[in-house]
Amino acid sequence: METEFDPQETEHIDLDLDDYLSEIKLAADKFELWFQPVYEIVSGTVLHNEVLVRWRDNEGRLRSPRELFEVLQNTHLMGQLDRIVVEKSIEILAQNSKVSLSINLSAEILEDSDFLSQLQKWLEHYRVNPKLLMFELDEAIFIHTSIKSLELMKAFKQMGCGVVLDSFTGNHFSLHQWQSLPIDTIKLDRNLIADPQSSEQKQLAKAIAHISPIFHKRCIATGIDNKQILKFAYDIGVQGVQGFLLGRPDDKPKTFVSVGVLIVRIITFLILLYIIKSLAGIDLFPNRHAWEVIADFFQSLFEGTKQ
């Protein structure tokens, strides 16, 4: 799930996409892929990059994805866009095996009877390890198309690809159903993370984060746009985080090569704090809560991993 797009960035653009609909079917080169990283919350390691779609007009201006999707949702082009994004993503994986990508799929892909065979052909043609590729389905799509969604999820797993259930609320599954879902990762619904207002929301988010690893599923919190939300995500025990605070969408994916650098920085930071506090008895942050210091450190780690 992508963090909210800022409409002010493109409000000066007068969109008239109807003139382009016939062209979209053929012009895959009009679309470009951007990426937003998902981080392991404790170490700052890049778990994978979520693939985001961007489109530039003939003058090279970046168009709002929200407005683009609003138009496409009223056509039969979302499935074609899915195919464009998947093939472009596999091409990127063929060029960089240190990257892992996660792709959001629309409901139309469930009606594409040839998609799985085409996916297998792409993987073989580009010689890409399917373990580097994950597919995301929104919980709302799953609920309305559960039989077809389950079949598609199982097919992805058999190929060796990962499966992510997006916008997970925990309201539609029994524990047995949740445990048996053929998925590797769940992404918490943003409403459970973004400044929870009720104790019920907090407890539900905490319960999902706690149960997920018991069911061998990774739990990711999205929409981490400020330090308070990052602290809440850390407190409830999610394994992964994603959001503008940690990394904005970029036209290049972040890789795993920075893990060693991260570890060195963590160890150095902890040793420095220990020496100063133990030997000098100096409190470096007398007017700040300890978590604020930790959150700033996390953010510096995430920003420092850009490749």
pLDDT in tens, 32-73: 899 999 999 987 889 999 999 988 777 878 877 777 777 777
Q: Which residues contact 230 (CB under 8 A, 6 or more apart)?
A: 224, 241, 243, 245, 246, 295, 298, 299
User: What are the φ and ψ backbone dihedral angles of 56, each rounded to 5 degrees?
Assistant: -105, 140
- pLDDT at residue 11 in the model: 40
Beta strand 185-188 with 218-221 is parallel
Read off the amino acid at residue 289: H
- Residue 307 above 80 pLDDT? no
CA dist list (Å): 198 to 44, 171, 193, 194, 230: 29, 16, 11, 11, 17
pLDDT in tens, 208-245: 999 999 999 999 999 999 988 998 999 999 999 999 99
Residue with tokens 């490749």: 307
pLDDT in tens, 101-134: 999 999 999 999 999 999 999 999 999 999 999 9
Please say whether the beta carbons of 67 and 57 come within 8 A: no
- pLDDT at residue 60 in the model: 78
Q: Which of 25-29, 227-231, 286-290 has the highest mean pLDDT?
A: 227-231
Mean pLDDT of 298-306: 54
Task: Point out the least confidently predicted range of 72-86, 95-109, 215-229, 253-267.
Answer: 253-267
**Rounded distance between C-alpha atoms, residue 207 and residue 237, angstroms:** 9
pLDDT in tens, 141-152: 999 999 999 999
- pLDDT at residue 302 in the model: 56
**Rounded distance between C-alpha atoms, residue 158 and residue 294, angstroms:** 40
The whole-chain average pLDDT of the chain stands at 82
- What would you measure as the largest C-alpha separation in the chain, in angstroms? 71
Give the chain's radius of gyration (CA, Å): 21
Residue 148: Cβ within 10 Å count: 15
Q: Which residues contact 111 (CB under 8 A, 6 or more apart)?
A: 79
Read off the amino acid at residue 48: H
- pLDDT at residue 293 in the model: 59
Mean pLDDT of 137-161: 96
- pLDDT at residue 56 in the model: 77
CATH 3.20.20.450 fits 7-257, yes or no: yes
Domains in the chain: boundaries: 7-257
